[in-house]
Structure formats: structure tokens, C-alpha cells
Structure 1
Amino acid sequence: MTEHNSAITALRRVPLSSLRVFESVGRSASFIQASVELGISSSAVSHSIRKLEDAIQIQLFERTTREVNLTAKGRLLLEHVQRGLDEMQRGFALANADEPPPLRLHTAPSFGTQWLMPRLSRFVQAHPAIDLRFSASTDYAQFENDDFDLDIVYGEPRPSLNEKVPLAVEHLTPLCSPALAERIRSPQDLYAHTLIQCDVQMLQWKGWFEANHLMPPHHYALRFDRSNMAIAAAVNGMGVVLESTLLAEGELKRGALVAPLRALTHDIQYIGHYLVYPNRRTQHEAAEVFKKWLLDELGVR
């Protein structure tokens, strides 16, 4: 019998009530707390756990006179059981809802401000029935608690069971105001100007200078922890910023920023942002609509 068929056979022998008891004990590490939470006796909790262990032939807990702790296999199973129970709860909530669920979007702040917000009106106009709820922060979105449906993250996402889609290839090049650009004719001219740096950027000035076979400067007068602030500083003539032409697309189009050295130097190219979402059998319909719109806007195929 294959592992898959063995797992299916074991699952058929396990009632849902036993999984609820297992989840409660595993989360609280207490038979007594689980009994109070579920409204059954402690002996019934203990009996249910033993029946579950016998059915699946796995020891889930290590018991002592004072405490009960999950085994390594028990911890592994608990994670998946909790996810399954959460999905069922979400399914019941969706089935009972009178209206379609909202689309909860989370994004990296600078991407949201610089690239997404100027285009978001097009999505809203094209899909007025979608209840869009928008949030931005540098934290990863929480899918387990059903807080968000989609997340646009900066940088390679941390390993997880979630799906990830790389977005556009971004180009980093020196950008500045048109007035300042009149005094920048060669890469060496950069040494005489204030270089603006975004400290959370994966690729910074040092890498750009090295890619163009130049000695990096030792001092940067202006540092920011957000790309949108660094771009705004450059627009205000405060110096030259090394930034993504994708994030600064609006400023470049309206002429608030220019790229004075692009014809003379090499851009740094990299994938800066990823779309992340939970791997579910049934996808949120509005999330699928937004995903397609986003990739179309970015020209990703």
C-alpha cells in the first residue's frame, strides 16, 4: 500500500470530533483546558486522543504526571489539522455570507505608493463590485488567520507552502531632477554630488559603482528606509538616487526625474517584488481577478 493510500485509509477511520479534540489539546498542551473549551470531561478527552493514536498508529503526545507535550510527529500533524479546520471554518463562513467576501490586499509600502496606487483606479473602475481592502507594511501578510488574500512582497519571499509569482524585472539606475542632471555628464561627476541611499534596498550604490567598474564612495549624505522617500528627495533636488525605474515610473514620465547616465552606464537588473498567496484548492475569485490584472499591468506573461 502506498503512503498516499495508507493516509486515506487512516483518515477514514478518524472522526472529525477526534481531530477537534487533538487540535485543542495540542494548542493548549492540557487535557483539562481542552475539556473546558470543548465542554466534555477530561476522561473523554483522554479517551478520544488514545482512539486517534490507535487509529492512525502514531504517538501524538508524550505524557507525564504533570504535563502533556506533542511529539515531533504530533507537532507536524497539528499544523496541518489546524490549517484544515481553519479552511473548513472559512468555507462555512463563505457559504453563509450574503455578499461575496472582500479582497484583502497587502503590499510592500513603496510598491503600493509608487506603482500600485496610481493605477488602482483602473482596477476599481473595471471591477466596481469587488470590495477591495488595501493595506501596506514591511511585514509579511498572514494568510493562516485569513487576514489577507494576496501579498506583494519586496525581495525573495521566505520559504513557505504559499505560492509565489515573480513580478517584473526592475532596472536600477541613477535618477535625479532635470536641473541637477545638467551638471552630470559622466559617471565620475557623481562623486561631486549627494548620493541618496535607501537602506532597505537589496542592491545599493556600492553594487552599482562596482558593476560599472568604478570605485564606490565612502560616504552617503542621505539615507532613507523607504524607496518612496528616497525618490521624493531626488525629485526635490536633494541629490541623486539609485532607484528602480519601475517604482519611479510616474516621476520619469512627468519629467520630475531623469536618468542622466543611462546611455553611458549599465543598469542593475533584478526581480524586486513577488506576488504571494496561499496554496488553496479553491481560490478566492476576486483574488484571481486582481492577480490577472496585476500581471497584465506589469506585462508579465
Structure 2
Amino acid sequence: MSLPVPLPTLRIFEAAARRQSFHAAATELNLTPSAVSHAIRKMEEAVGVVLFERIGRGVSLSPEGEALMRHVERGFDEFRRGLETASARAPRLLRLHSAPSFAAQWLTPRLARFYTQNPDVEVRLSASTDYTRFENGEFDADIIYGLPRHEGLVVVPLAEETLTPLCAPHIAHTIESPVDLLRHQLIQSDTKQFRWPAWFTLNGMTMPSSLCGSRFDRSFLAIAAAAEGLGIVLESTLLAEREIARGRLVAPLSGRSQDIRYVGHHLVYPRPVEKKNALRSFAQWLARELCIELTTFV
């Protein structure tokens, strides 16, 4: 039985539904917005229902469109999996998303080592502040900061991280106790689970209500600012390990204050992806690099 809608049109529908925009779908597929709109209109005529509700210059799926999208997503995901399985000569592909600071500070500098140990695996890495939803099959796994916002995912805790004050060496010699920090610019990492007030409380102090210092919404920016001598940052030694190893950052209160220790990052993925050999290879390598034990992939 032939399909009432050709596969290229289904691809246009999937892109428009995922992006909630005919214009964005056109850009992704290298088409014009009018071509996308025409294809959707012909598809609606073929299936006999309205698939998109037009709202101003945007679109949203109708109830019938949402029902169709669930099936189309699964269908294209099966196509992709089938092609990966059939293409035995192609490298094993891992589509990985990551929190930006972990990707920039820890993962990317180690990818060469991963490829040396796993030459048959290709990692396609994307980094953004949005958590992966996994519904459209765009990614196989995500390294997130904190815990996932959606249920039904396998969650693998990564290494315990240490949050401690870090600064450039020329600032460190002026700091002998926690109270000395108050004489300096304190760099704020706004998205950290634990920030300066928690550290001061742990060390028996109350942080003043007003402090001077730069504010950043990503750890890699705060770490870079501290390495340039802009102040003292409360950051993860895991994320800042390159700057520490190169002597650009030091922990002035090491052994003289209490540090915050917690598991900040997690590897998450849908249960069916656990069978994918590329993910298994990556997770096992990740565990070796971080010196942790896996409760999965054993």
C-alpha cells in the first residue's frame, strides 16, 4: 500500500513540528518558507485534517498533528537506527549533549585521548544550557549539571567535586584565613548549586549582604575571570583543573578552611540507548577518567 504522503513531505512535517516554525524548518532543510508551507498544506489535504494551528507568524500542532508527530518521530528514529546498523563500515556514532562548562573545561580537552582509545567511535558533541528531552532522537545521552527534569532516564552520578576559593597566584599570598577574602573582589557563579553564602556558613561566617565582584552565569566564564586576576571565585577544582595544573589558579585556603563537596554532574540517557555500543564505550572511558565505578554497563 502506497503512502498518501511522500517521505520528503513527512520530513518537512517533522522539522516544522519539532521547531514549531515553518521558517526554522525551511532553514534547517535548505528550503524556502513558502515551500514548507505549501508542502504542509498539501499534506493536510491528503490526510484530511488540520495539522498546524496558525498563530500570528508562528504555528503550533493541532491535537491531530500532535498524534501524528508521535508516530513520525518514532518512524524517523527507527530509520536512523536502521541505517546505523546497516552501515557496518561507518564509525559507531554517539550523539552527546553536555552542560557548557563541563564540555569546555573537562571533556573537550580529553577527547583526543578518548579517540586514541576508541578509534571506531565518533562523538558528535553539542553544548547548551537546555536539558535534552530525547523525544526526537537528536541525542543519545546528556551530561547535565544537577539532576534531570524529566522522569524515566537512567542517571549515572559522575565524580564528587570540590568547591573551594580559587584565585591567581599574585592574589593568593594576601589570603591566610577566610576573613581575608572579604578584602577582595569575590566572583559570583550565578548558576552553581552552592555559592559564596553556603561556603561562608560552612566556615562559621556570615557573608556580608553587599560584596563587590563580577557575576557570571557559567562556570567557565567565572574560572577564566579568576585566572585573569579579576578576583576570587568559588569553583569546582574538577572544572578548573587545567588552570590549576598550569599554575594560573591556586587554592589559597587549602587545608585552612572547609570545602564544599558534592556530585554536580550526571550522565543521563533513555534506557533503550543503553544497548548502544558507542555509549557503552564512552561511559566506561568516562568512568576511568573520573576514577568512579559504574553500576551500569558492567
Bin of the TM-score, shorter chain as denominator length: 0.7 to 0.9
Structure-2 separation of matches of 1:135 and 1:102: 14
Q: Counterpart amino acid of 1:269? A: R
User: Structure 2 matches for 1:57-136, cutoff 5 A?
Assistant: 85=75, 87-97=77-87, 99-136=90-127
Q: Does the aligned pair in 1 maintain the 2:274–2:280 contact within 8 Å?
A: no
Q: Counterpart amino acid of 1:158? A: R
Structure-1 separation of matches of 2:83 and 2:191: 39
Structure-2 separation of matches of 1:233 and 1:275: 28
State percent identity of aligned pairs.
46
**SS of residue paired to 1:207:** helix
Q: Which has the larger radius of gyration?
A: 1
Give 1:83 deviation, angstroms.
Answer: 6.8
Evaluate the alpha carbon distance shift between residue 295 and residue 82 of structure 1 in structure 2; reply closer, same or farther with a 3 A threshold: farther
**SS of residue paired to 1:131:** strand
User: Structure 2 matches for 1:215-234, cutoff 5 A?
Assistant: 215-217=206-208, 218-234=210-226
Q: Does the aligned pair in 2 maintain the 1:196–1:239 contact within 8 Å?
A: yes
Q: Counterpart amino acid of 1:165? A: V
Unaligned 5+ segments in structure 1 are 1-16, 18-23, 28-33, 46-67
**Corresponding residue of 1:161:** 152
Unaligned 5+ segments in structure 2 are 4-12, 18-39, 50-61, 294-298
Evaluate the alpha carbon distance shift between residue 145 and residue 184 of structure 1 in structure 2; reply closer, same or farther with a 3 A threshold: same
**Corresponding residue of 2:36:** none
**Matching of residue 250 in structure 1 with residue 242 in structure 2:** yes
**Corresponding residue of 2:255:** 263
Q: Does the aligned pair in 2 maintain the 1:197–1:220 contact within 8 Å?
A: no
**SS of residue paired to 2:234:** strand
Q: Does the aligned pair in 1 maintain the 2:226–2:232 contact within 8 Å?
A: yes
Evaluate the alpha carbon distance shift between residue 91 and residue 103 of structure 1 in structure 2; reply closer, same or farther with a 3 A threshold: closer
**Matching of residue 277 in structure 1 with residue 269 in structure 2:** yes
Number of corresponding residues = 244
**Corresponding residue of 1:180:** 171
Give 1:85 deviation, angstroms.
Answer: 4.3
1:171 to 137, 142, 162: 162
Give 1:100 deviation, angstroms.
Answer: 4.1
Give 1:297 deviation, angstroms.
Answer: 0.4
Q: RMSD of aligned C-alpha atoms?
A: 3.0
Q: Does the aligned pair in 1 maintain the 2:99–2:145 contact within 8 Å?
A: yes
Q: Counterpart amino acid of 1:288? A: R
Q: Does the aligned pair in 2 maintain the 1:208–1:268 contact within 8 Å?
A: yes
Evaluate the alpha carbon distance shift between residue 90 and residue 38 of structure 1 in structure 2; reply closer, same or farther with a 3 A threshold: farther
Give 1:141 deviation, angstroms.
Answer: 2.3
